């Protein structure tokens, strides 16, 4: 990346130039992409959110993950590893942050005139 102020080569995704200290403007094409992180789901949780978190990470429906986990539990050989795997996931996977709540709807405007409301006059 070239600093537009001093025209020197600097490292990609730098916020400031090493030579002149000018702030660098990062274009959306060069912006960092958010990395996916495996976390327990807060909004799609039945027991501990492990299956919901795996489903969000893999971008598939959580019902499919839950069905595959139940099948893995009831298959004769991997009963113990499937249950232990869920418990380990519960312990190791961090809980996802709670999504921000939508702002409350604005209250209707209040009449400030001294005239009575039409419904109040009889």
- Do 7 and 61 belong together in one domain? no
Residue pLDDT, tens place only, 69-113: 888 888 777 667 778 888 888 888 888 877 766 555 555 555 555
Mark whether 59 and 6 lie in a shared domain: no
Choose the weakest-confidence range: 27-31, 38-42, 45-49, 61-65: 27-31
Q: Is residue 112 part of a domain?
A: no
The reply to whether 73 falls in a domain is yes
Is the pLDDT higher at 22 or at 76?
22
What is the phi/psi pair of residue 101, to 5°?
Answer: -75, 150
Using an 8 Å Cβ cutoff, are 20 and 3 in contact? yes
pLDDT of 52 > 80? The answer is yes
For the chain, percent of residues with pLDDT exceeding 90: 1
What is the domain range of residue 10?
1-31
CB atoms within 10 A of CB 42: 14
**Position 107 in a domain:** no
Token pair 């789901």 is found at 41
How many domains are contained in the chain?
2
**Quick check: 17 and 11 in contact, CB under 8 A?**
no
Query: How far apart (Å, rounded) are the C-alpha atoms in residues 90 and 99?
Result: 20
Based on the domain organization, do 89 and 54 belong to the same domain? yes
Residues 42 and 2 in one domain: no
| 63 and 44 together in one domain | yes
19 and 5 in a single domain? The answer is: yes
Same structural domain for residues 90 and 61?
yes
The two most distant CA atoms of the chain are separated, in Å, by 80
Residues 12 and 38 in one domain: no
Q: Are residues 41 and 73 in the same domain?
A: yes
Same domain, 60 and 78: yes
Q: Which residue has the tokens 């999504």?
A: 99
Both tokens of 122, joined, read 């009889």
Residue 109 CA, distance from chain mean position: 35
């Amino acid at each position: 990346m070239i600093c537009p102020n001093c025209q020197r080569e600097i490292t990609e995704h730098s916020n400031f130039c090493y030579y002149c200290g000018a702030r660098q403007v990062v274009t959306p094409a060069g912006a960092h992409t958010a990395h996916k992180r495996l976390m327990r789901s807060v909004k799609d949780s039945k027991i501990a959110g492990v299956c919901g978190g795996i489903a969000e990470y893999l971008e598939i429906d959580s019902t499919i993950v839950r069905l595959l986990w139940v099948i893995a539990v009831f298959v004769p050989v991997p009963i113990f590893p499937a249950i232990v795997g869920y418990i380990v996931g519960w312990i190791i996977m961090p809980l996802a942050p709670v999504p921000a709540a939508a702002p409350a709807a604005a209250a209707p405007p209040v009449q400030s005139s001294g005239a009575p409301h039409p419904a109040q006059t009889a």
